[in-house]
């Protein structure tokens, strides 16, 4: 992977870009930037593994559907996360040409990454980086989505066989929408935080 090419592509599309050797450095960076804010988290195994909810909750009001307060449902917390000052999520794939891909079942993650915040951070390990937009779509569909289905123990052919997408019609299907970020959205800052580790799916 050529980080310099990825950086150049993302900067050219209006994103900020930062890169860290490990998760601890990335969490410290985010911890230092995000203070006294409302923060929404999009479902992300990467953010879960980094402990971002716990770290940021000390000095921010964080809404994470993966950490619902007692008495609040996933949907209630997910809706609150959409109107926060800051939003953090990850990506299913990141093309060196500067496009970001996410597949979503409920839609809160892709919705939160599009509108309504001061700034959106996309936090991703180097395992998400591929050469082209076509490769990124393939990765999102055939690697990220099946691995997420396996993680969630869903009854889908990709979770049972673990090798690729079968374009299923299962009631458990998690692939209902796919978002391609072609460039930074208008009127909102967006930053890609790349970490030189294998994180998420
Ligand atoms: S469409 Fe179905 S088989 Fe394909 S990745 Fe999504 S859940 Fe798995």
**C-alpha distances in Å from residue 141, one per residue of 5, 83, 102, 116, 201:** 24, 28, 9, 27, 11
Q: Is the CB of 158 under 6 A from ligand 1?
A: yes
Q: Is the CB of 175 under 6 A from ligand 1?
A: yes
CA of 57 to the centre of ligand 1 (A): 33
Fold topology of 3-131+178-195: Rossmann fold (3.40.50)
Say which residues have a Cβ less than 8 Å from residue 132's Cβ, sequence separation at least 6: 95, 96, 97
> CB of 179 within 8 A of CB of 122?
no
CA of 109 to the centre of ligand 1 (A): 17
Pocket perturbation via mutation, ligand 1, pick of 143, 164, 173, 177 by most ligand atoms within 8 A of CB: 173
Q: Is the CB of 146 under 6 A from ligand 1?
A: yes
**What is the percent of the chain with per-residue pLDDT over 90, rounded to a whole number?**
98
d(CA 175, CA 187): 29
d(CA 165, CA 36): 41
pLDDT at 16 over 80: yes
Report residue 11: phi and psi, to 5°: -60, -40
pTM of the predicted model over 0.85: yes
Read off the pLDDT of residues 28-85 as tens digits, 9 standing for 90 and up: 999 999 999 999 999 899 999 999 999 999 999 999 999 999 999 999 999 999 999 9
CA of 182 to the centre of ligand 1 (A): 23
Report residue 154: phi and psi, to 5°: -90, 160
Nearest atom in ligand 1 to the alpha carbon of residue 103 is 6
Q: Whose CA is nearest to atom 4 of ligand 1?
A: 165
CA of 145 to the centre of ligand 1 (A): 6
Read off the pLDDT of residues 138-175 as tens digits, 9 standing for 90 and up: 999 999 999 999 999 999 999 999 899 999 999 999 99
């Amino acid at each position: 992977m050529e980080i310099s090419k990825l950086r150049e592509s993302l900067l050219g599309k209006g994103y900020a870009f930062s890169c860290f050797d490990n998760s601890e450095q990335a969490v410290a960076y985010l911890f230092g930037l995000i203070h006294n804010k409302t923060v929404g988290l999009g479902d992300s195994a990467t953010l879960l593994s980094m402990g971002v909810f716990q770290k940021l909750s000390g000095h921010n009001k964080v809404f994470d559907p993966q950490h619902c307060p007692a008495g609040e449902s996933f949907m209630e917390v997910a809706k609150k996360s959409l109107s926060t000052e800051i939003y953090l999520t990850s990506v299913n794939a990141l093309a060196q040409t500067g496009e970001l891909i996410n597949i979503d079942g409920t839609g809160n993650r892709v919705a939160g990454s599009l509108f309504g915040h001061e700034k959106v951070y996309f936090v991703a390990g180097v395992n998400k980086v591929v050469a082209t937009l076509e490769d990124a779509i393939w990765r999102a569909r055939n690697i990220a989505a099946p691995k997420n289905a396996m993680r969630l123990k869903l009854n889908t052919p990709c979770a049972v066989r673990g090798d690729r997408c079968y374009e299923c019609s299962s009631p458990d299907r998690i692939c209902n929408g796919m978002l391609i970020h072609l460039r930074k959205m208008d009127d909102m800052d967006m930053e890609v935080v790349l970490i030189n580790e294998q994180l998420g799916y």
